[in-house]
Structure 1
Amino acid sequence: MDKLTSMNVFVRVAKAGSFAGGARDLDISRAMATKHIMHLEGLLGTRLFNRTTRSLSLTDVGASYLERCQQVLLEVEEMEAAVTHLQTEPRGLLRISAPPVIGSTHISHAVSEFLKIHSDLTIEMIIQSSPGDLVDEGIDVAILLGALDDTSMFARKLASSSLVVCGSPDYFERHGVPQTPEDLENHSCLVNWAIAPRNKWLFKGEAGYTGINVSGRMQANVADPIRIAAVNGLGLVMLPTYIVGRDIEKGRLKVVLEDYTSPPLDVHAVYPHRKYLSAKVRSFMDFLQEWLEHRVSLPVATE
């Protein structure tokens, strides 16, 4: 049996947590997956899994071997990329991770258009607030909003979206309109945890950006719940224009503090630390950058 193939089967079985799951991912039989694992265990002279009739778990040796297998398989992929330049046309499977709102709107539309152009490509799209471990989860490229914390990943800035403070006309009738950022301390401010720093809205002053502590009756880790609450008169929000643009256009929300600048929300594509980018990743990032540059400062797409 080919050792690299067996290593790939081992990684898939370990991630799936079962022989059946790993075999299904690779479109092989459970019996064949079992043979590959037994082949590796025979070569290594040790067990990689603890097996019972109801569960499968890695041994200590297996856990260590899994990490090294992932690295070896990644290096093989990079070596092949160096030799073949990973072809000129995107093909195969591309796994993308994206945050909920921008992922369900702009990224989804971009993916559909990208697939129309590249008939040999298949895309798996995972909508989640955090991409987790890209290598462990097999993510080729993840879309992230705001500041980047993980320096182990390569990143490419795709676009920026302005942040605006807004509320409903009904809210302003009942509570008045803030004239300065400091006035926000006396208003109900609905906070999106996904935009750092948490519970602090930034505005540019003479000495740089200053944080205003804010609080309100609702907080959420994604934008839509607080956007809806703002439309219903429960408070003010600071959100990107691509999220609230349509509400502003329809008069459901009104922008305030327009004379005060907030730092833009950057949109990044991040990918595992690799010297050679596959054609599918490189082409998708090029396409997405052009797509977002013309759209993230506009209302959320509905076409």
Structure 2
Amino acid sequence: MDRIDAMRAFVTVARSGSFSAAADKLDKSPQLISKYVSQLEEHLDTRLLNRTTRRVHLTEAGEQYLPRASQVLDEIDAMENQLTDLQHKAHGLLRISAPVAFSTSHLAPLINKFQQQYPDVDVDLHLNDRKVDIVEEGFDIALRIGHLKSSSMIAKRLTIIKLVICASPDYLALHGEPTTLESLTQHNYLRYSLLDSSNSPDAHHYLTQGQVPDIGKVSCNHGEFLCQCAVLGQGIVMQPTFICHDAINAGKLKVILRDNEPAPMHLYAVYAHRQLMASKVRAFINFAADFYGDTPYWDDCLTA
């Protein structure tokens, strides 16, 4: 016996006054409604209804059981409606983990536009370049940049992330412009310490895995800092265009070694479950993919 179905049958019969009327409301046969009520009475070991040919009447036990059963069913219905609303109407608290440099430059406009369209969604944003455990740390979404390895998480690609090698015109005028990766041995390479060969092969692998030994006097885990160092003429840097596009457009950095640019990476939204995804998660992921597009705005306006 399904106790919830049996309780619902009893309450409907009690409120409507007959098995046939209850059957119409529940879209069941009168025989099935009668069976549900009989099973409930057997389970409780007490009679809840006195049946006559025309109507049914509550027993004393039935009068005591009805308000409590009604309250239980109302709470179940309210809970299910709330969960249904959560699935179909984007609202609630959305917890996001995102990388620092990208977020400080390009996430605020996205969240601003997103909340204009979805005002019932509150955003709790955590900026950290650490790879968080989404489930253990209670995040709905983690934004990640790179070449993702296989995992139990689900990933949605949001946009492309291009990498370029560049230096300031003053640095190139003083030290000359390298035309091959081998010629970088004569230059100062400003190294992003969090990037490894699994995230960005090709040029970075060449620069940091021993083929060009001991280059670079500065390493840092923040790309914007390295970009500023390059603008000041301190060396050659390889950075994503979302960091250095303004400096390139302003002529403060020049893109070099175009034939040796690493394969592009991507920005991903990583989340735990594909099925029964909360509408706030689905809404944000779809909105972000549309907002950045196949060619993000920082590349679309790149002049060099």
Q: TM-score, normalising length from structure 2?
A: 0.65
- Residue 189 of structure 2: aligned partner: 189
- Residue 99 of structure 2: aligned partner: 99
What letter is aligned with 2:157?
K
* Cα displacement (A) at 1:218: 0.9
1:166-205 matched pairs, under 5 angstroms = 166-197=166-197, 202-203=202-203
- Alignment check: 8 A CA contact 2:200 2:265 kept: no
SS in 2 for 1:277: coil
Indicate the structure (1 or 2) with the bigger Cα radius of gyration.
2
User: Using a 3 Å threshold, how does the CA distance of structure 1 residues 185 and 167 change in structure 2: closer, same or farther?
Assistant: same
- Residue 152 of structure 1: aligned partner: 152
Partner Cα separation in structure 1 for residue 111 and residue 199 of structure 2: 33
- Alignment check: 8 A CA contact 2:167 2:253 kept: yes
- Consecutive unaligned residues of structure 2, counting only runs of 5 or more, are 1-79
- Alignment check: 8 A CA contact 2:105 2:243 kept: no
Partner Cα separation in structure 1 for residue 145 and residue 265 of structure 2: 7
* Cα displacement (A) at 1:103: 0.9
What letter is aligned with 1:290?
D
Partner Cα separation in structure 1 for residue 186 and residue 288 of structure 2: 40
- Residue 253 of structure 2: aligned partner: 253
SS in 1 for 2:247: helix
Runs of 4+ in 1 over 6 A off after TM superposition: 198-201
Partner Cα separation in structure 1 for residue 173 and residue 195 of structure 2: 28
- Residue 133 of structure 1: aligned partner: 133
- Residue 297 of structure 1: aligned partner: 299
Partner Cα separation in structure 2 for residue 248 and residue 261 of structure 1: 15
SS in 1 for 2:234: coil
What letter is aligned with 1:297?
D
Identity %: 34
User: 2:213 aligned with 1:211, yes or no?
Assistant: no
- Consecutive unaligned residues of structure 1, counting only runs of 5 or more, are 1-79, 204-208
Partner Cα separation in structure 1 for residue 278 and residue 200 of structure 2: 39
User: 2:143 aligned with 1:143, yes or no?
Assistant: yes
Partner Cα separation in structure 1 for residue 184 and residue 131 of structure 2: 33
What letter is aligned with 1:168?
S
Q: TM-score, normalising length from structure 1?
A: 0.65
Partner Cα separation in structure 2 for residue 147 and residue 116 of structure 1: 32
Partner Cα separation in structure 1 for residue 298 and residue 89 of structure 2: 27
Q: Tell me whether 291-300 or 148-157 shows the greater mean CA deviation.
A: 291-300
User: Using a 3 Å threshold, how does the CA distance of structure 1 residues 210 and 222 change in structure 2: closer, same or farther?
Assistant: closer
Partner Cα separation in structure 2 for residue 200 and residue 229 of structure 1: 21
* Cα displacement (A) at 1:296: 4.7
Partner Cα separation in structure 2 for residue 257 and residue 192 of structure 1: 18
What letter is aligned with 2:103?
G
User: 2:127 aligned with 1:118, yes or no?
Assistant: no
- Residue 231 of structure 1: aligned partner: 231
SS in 2 for 1:211: helix
* Cα displacement (A) at 1:258: 1.8
Pairs aligned (count): 216
SS in 1 for 2:237: strand
- Residue 52 of structure 1: aligned partner: none
